Amino acid sequence: SHRYRIAVIPGDGIGREVVPEGVRCLAAAAQAHGFEFEIAEFDFACADYWLRHGEMLPPDWREVLGGYDAIFFGAVGWPEVVPDHVSLWGSLLQFRRGFDQYVNLRPVRLLRGVRSPLRDRQPGDIDFLVVRENTEGEYSSIGGRIFEGTDRETVVQETVMTRIGVDRVLRYAFDLAAARPRKHLTWATKSNGISITMPYWDERATAMAQRYPDVTADKDHIDILTAKFVLRPQQYDVVVASNLFGDILSDLGPACAGTIGIAPSANINPDRTWPSLFEPVHGSAPDIAGRGIANPVGQIWSGAMMLGHLGELAAAAQVVAAIETVLDERPEVLTPDLGGSGTTEGLGAAIAAEITAGESRQRGTHA
Ligand code: NAD
Ligand code: IPM
Ligand code: MN
């Protein structure tokens, strides 16, 4: 049977609470579908490696992690002790760039059993993919500070868009849209106000659209796009955005679909030169860490995306189905963000049990 080598980085805060539930569900899926995981855990976190070394990662992190089939990541961040830009630029953002994970794929779906804060929304009304550019754009390290401490103090940070960088994420998004039933793509822009980079983004998107005649493509400025996510989420199918706009849309979308606690993401290196990284959209949530009440679904669903990336499509689909069944049929295990009073472990264990039960039910039907 196939054996996958996975690097697991639980990280900080609720990362340490939800990752074990993600691993539990991956183990259940492996057992049910006849493959194996070989898991190596790494302590690359603020409240761990950083405390001992004053760095988030060892200098040879690319060699240490580069040979794994995938990275399963929780969240990092301990803002009371380590400034966020130090911890995030010291780890997660290094992985995205160093492993050239230029696509951040973030599905947004209103699942059965979850209530949207938007009025009258049913499962099926919200079902789209945010494709976030993940290696350049507004997240650049080009800039600086001058006249520090004087009244002329000035800070500048550049936005970087390269033709290769823009075209490759657009191509990925158009390919995805072309393979979906609705074949609809929206690109987020702000070319009315940001007058150099965003018109360039529009220009490349318009050129790419010409190569995909079957895809209906249009653009929305980011300001009205956020309003339409709330007012008319049903009209979106694939939404492609620059790094910062994609970041914002991928918290707003899941909030419209009930809670950011369920939102998954895949940081993908489509060339497969390097491992891809799977993590929930949310962070380390210091406000609820240590209480055992974090929603593990974002982590578990990210595990399903990892299974899909590894080629275990049946297992991936089954994990998502198990998540939805449990959310819909087991209100007693739902965590507080879903309106319940359950625990991280209770919800994780229920989903793992449903993965196992679902597989034996299926085997029963086929026999
Ligand atoms: P956050 O996502 O950690 O939390 C935002 C809010 O959502 C909080 O009220 C939190 O309790 C709630 N929440 C988040 N995940 C939840 C879950 N699974 N279940 C229930 N509630 C959940 O964002 P933040 O507060 O902006 O950031 C906190 C720290 O995490 C910071 O250090 C930040 O830099 C870091 N962060 C890390 C990542 C990452 O590693 N990928 C992502 C985002 C933020
Ligand atoms: C995310 C996070 C990160 C980002 C932060 C923690 C740097 O918000 O993965 O969405 O902005 O990309
Ligand atoms: Mn974010």
Q: Is ipTM > 0.90 here?
A: yes
Catalytic residue (one of 12, 102, 190, 236): 190
* Minimum CA distance residue for ligand 1 atom 17: 261
Q: Is the CB of 74 under 6 A from ligand 1?
A: no
C-alpha 239/C-alpha 104 separation (Å) is 12
Ligand 1 atom nearest 337 alpha carbon: 20
Where, residue-wise, is CATH 3.40.718.10 in the chain?
1-101+269-367, 116-257
pLDDT computed for residue 367 by the predictor: 47
- 198 C-alpha vs ligand 2 centroid, how far in Å? 21
220 tagged catalytic: no
pTM given for the model: 0.98
pLDDT of residue 365: 64
Minimal-distance CA residue to ligand 2 atom 12? 247
What DSSP element (H or E) covers 309? helix 297-310
CA of 284 to the centre of ligand 1 (A): 5
> Which residue's C-alpha comes closest to atom 23 of ligand 1?
283
Beta bridge partners of 145: 155
**1-101+269-367: which CATH number, 3.30.420.40, 3.40.50.2300, 3.40.50.300, 3.40.718.10?**
3.40.718.10
CA 55, CA 91: separation in Å to the nearest integer? 9
* Tens-binned pLDDT, residue by residue, of the chain (367 aa): 799 999 999 999 999 999 999 999 999 999 999 999 999 999 999 999 999 999 999 999 999 999 999 999 999 999 999 999 999 999 999 999 999 999 999 999 999 999 999 999 999 999 999 999 999 999 999 999 999 999 999 999 999 999 999 999 999 999 999 999 999 999 999 999 999 999 999 999 999 999 999 999 999 999 999 999 999 999 999 999 999 999 999 999 999 999 999 999 999 999 999 999 999 999 999 999 999 999 999 999 999 999 999 999 999 999 999 999 999 999 999 999 999 999 999 999 999 999 999 888 888 765 4
333-340: long-range contacts at Cβ-Cβ below 8 A with a sequence spacing of 24 or more?
Answer: 334/113, 335/261, 335/293, 335/294, 335/295, 335/296, 336/293, 337/259, 337/261, 337/295, 338/114, 338/258, 338/259, 338/261, 338/262, 338/295, 339/115
With CA atoms as reference, report the closest residue to 134 among 163, 158, 169.
169
User: How crowded is residue 129: how many other Cβ atoms within 10 Å of its Cβ?
Assistant: 21
State residue 308's pLDDT score. 98
CATH of domain 116-257: 3.40.718.10
- Of all ligands present, the nearest one to the C-alpha of 135 is 2
- Catalytic-labelled residue, pool 43, 218, 223, 328: 223
Model pLDDT, residue 366: 56
Residue nearest to atom 5 of ligand 2 (CA): 88
Does 247 contact ligand 2 (Cβ within 6 A)?
A: yes
* Nearest ligand (C-alpha, residue 133): 2
